[in-house]
Amino acid sequence: MPVISNPQYNPTSAYQPIVYNVLYTSSPDIVKYCEFTVYVNGTAIATGRNTYYATAPTFGSTEYYFLIDIQDYLQRWLAPNRAKSSMFGTLNTATQIDNTDAYAEVYVEFRYLLVSATTGKIVEAPSFDTSDLRIVDMATRQNGESRSLDEFIWTPTVTPARFLSNMPVEQDICSTDNAFVSFMSDWNWFRVRTYDSGGVLITDSYAQTGGTGNVGHCTVGTGIPQLQSVVWFDAQNPNFTNAAFYIVTFGIGFVANPTTVVFVGNPIQKIYRIVDCCDKKLKLFWLNRLGGVDNYNFCFVNREQKVESQVFEKALGWQNLSDPPHTQYDFGKAVTNIKASRSYQVKDIITNTDADWIRELFASAEVYIQNPDGSAEYWRVFISPASFVEQVNRGTVAIGFELNISQDVVTHRI
């Protein structure tokens, strides 16, 4: 029996209906359920059952129609991990990763359970159906936006593709900052060109992205410390000495000979302006709603340690013949269950343009800061639940929030 319709979009977002319309024709048995199994990258991850939503007579038989929506199963499978998802590469190290935890090749198998006209028992129909293969991504679409993800898929020389981020393609960056770019298109190479303050080209370098060359989800580290760790084609490393800015271009390429890469680049490029930065800022990284990683350096006004505890009291060890009657080590009241947590009060002024994409931070499922004590490691953090009011004043926005370290300070037991 045919699968009437597969999901409309390919690739599609896991955070919208992923609906299949199927039918099964039977007589005289009655079709009771459609049992479906969801396969992700060739492995079954879930099984469910639906009853039919409509029937129709046809040539002495009955057609039973089923609508199967599998978005719930895929949202759980593609949910951000408790540990860092693969989009968050190791800081200060080359990141060229195929994000297999951010997308999947999906198909569904449909089997039909019948009520036998002779025995009255439920039996499985002798035939079953299989859907087309679809790519499902963790990228989300908002109300009012297109349901399609086609704008992230590149058609060479015809249609440019967006990155999986709403961050501006031009941004300031410190020489010590890490940054990431995620994309869905089939780019297998990227190019980095460095320029001096007069716009004169210093170096032109090529490297592979780590992607599969197919539509999927890939992340590349584009900060200077990360790019300095990349293995570059023909050892042509980018030189950032005296560089004022650099341009990162993603595209499709192949090695023509030992010293030449034939490369066709996407017209939308990342441009980084190298600036001097204050080290006394919090470097935040968060999972944006498109499944990429955004970053921003925020000012903070204070660092706070909150301590909670419970007070208990015990009788003092009075000794009638002693003077004093108890020692300084005895105590009546003391605290137990000591819990200490750390947080930062962030206050900063950002531009209206930056506010448009930074607000995604407050609804992110995964937020990290780079260890503010100087080591190149992530600390998991969360933002205190609150209503965020953007106070707009002549093109700038005053922003403030509380950022909490997820790990409590380790304290001794009483």
Tell me the CATH number for domain 150-275. Answer: 2.60.40
Contact call for residues 129 and 1 (beta carbons, < 8 A): yes
Pairing of strands 12-13, 134-137: parallel
* Sequence-separated (6 or more) residues with CB below 8 Å from residue 76: none
Contact call for residues 256 and 338 (beta carbons, < 8 A): no
pLDDT of residue 117: 87
pLDDT of residue 389: 66
Any idea how long the chain is? 414
Q: Which CATH number fits domain 299-405: 2.60.40, 2.20.100, 2.40.30, 1.10.10?
A: 2.40.30
pLDDT of residue 205: 97
Left, alpha or beta for 222 (phi > 0: left; psi -120 to 50: alpha)?
alpha
CA nearest neighbour of 88 among 257, 276, 286, 356: 286
Structure-token pair, residue 328: 């300084």
Alpha-carbon gap, residue 392 to 291, rounded angstroms: 28
CA 249: distance to chain centroid?
A: 22
pLDDT of residue 329: 65
Contact call for residues 319 and 326 (beta carbons, < 8 A): yes
Please tell me if the domain spanning 150-275 has the same topology as the one spanning 299-405.
no
Alpha-carbon gap, residue 189 to 250, rounded angstroms: 6
Tell me the CATH number for domain 3-86+104-137. Answer: 2.60.40
pLDDT of residue 234: 94
Alpha-carbon gap, residue 163 to 153, rounded angstroms: 9
Alpha-carbon gap, residue 255 to 267, rounded angstroms: 21
pLDDT of residue 267: 95
Residue with tokens 């660092």: 303
CA 161: distance to chain centroid?
A: 19
Task: Look at residue 102 and give its three-state secondary structure.
Answer: coil
pLDDT of residue 400: 86
pLDDT of residue 203: 97
Alpha-carbon gap, residue 414 to 408, rounded angstroms: 17
Pick out the chain residues at pLDDT < 70. 1-2, 82, 316-331, 387-392
pLDDT of residue 130: 95
pLDDT of residue 319: 64
* 249, 250, 254, 256: CA torsion to nearest 10: -10
pLDDT of residue 325: 67
Structure-token pair, residue 102: 């951010």
What does the domain layout of the chain look like in residue ranges? 3-86+104-137, 150-275, 299-405
Q: Calculate the alpha carbon distances from 321 to 315, 317, 326, 332 in Å.
A: 17, 12, 10, 20
Alpha-carbon gap, residue 192 to 101, rounded angstroms: 27
Alpha-carbon gap, residue 336 to 316, rounded angstroms: 17
